[in-house]
Amino acid sequence: MASIEIIVRDDQGKILRQSVDEDVKLSSLSLRGVESAVERWGHKVLAKVEATLLEAAQQEFTEAQKIKLNFYVCIFYYFLNLELLTA
């Protein structure tokens, strides 16, 4: 019996998802049977991998927006305090 494992990593090498979703019994399958079993497995797993990647991208985007917002808030308060000091 063989198993297929998927490991999804981010750019820094951190594991986002690791799974063994299906064992394939190779001894009782022909080449065509192995191909179809792997293809079925791929269709099933593709949605999970895509969801993992989209979730990671969304978290990265959200963090970038928070940093950008904090930057603009700091600039706003800097100019507000500067205006109050010169008034």
Q: How far is CA 8 from the centre of its chain?
A: 7
The pLDDT score that the predictor gives to residue 58 is: 92
The pLDDT score that the predictor gives to residue 1 is: 66
The pLDDT score that the predictor gives to residue 49 is: 84
CA dihedral of residues 61, 56, 47, 45 (deg, nearest 10):
160
Gyration radius from the chain CA atoms:
24
Dihedrals φ, ψ of 3, to 5°?
-125, 150
In tens, the pLDDT along 17-75 reads 887 666 666 677 788 887 887 788 788 888 888 888 899 889 889 988 888 888 888 88
- The yes-or-no verdict on residue 82 having pLDDT over 80 is no
Q: Which two tokens stand for residue 57?
A: 């991208």
Q: How far apart are CA 56 and CA 60, in angstroms?
A: 6
Please indicate whether residue 22 or residue 7 has the higher confidence score (pLDDT). Answer: 7
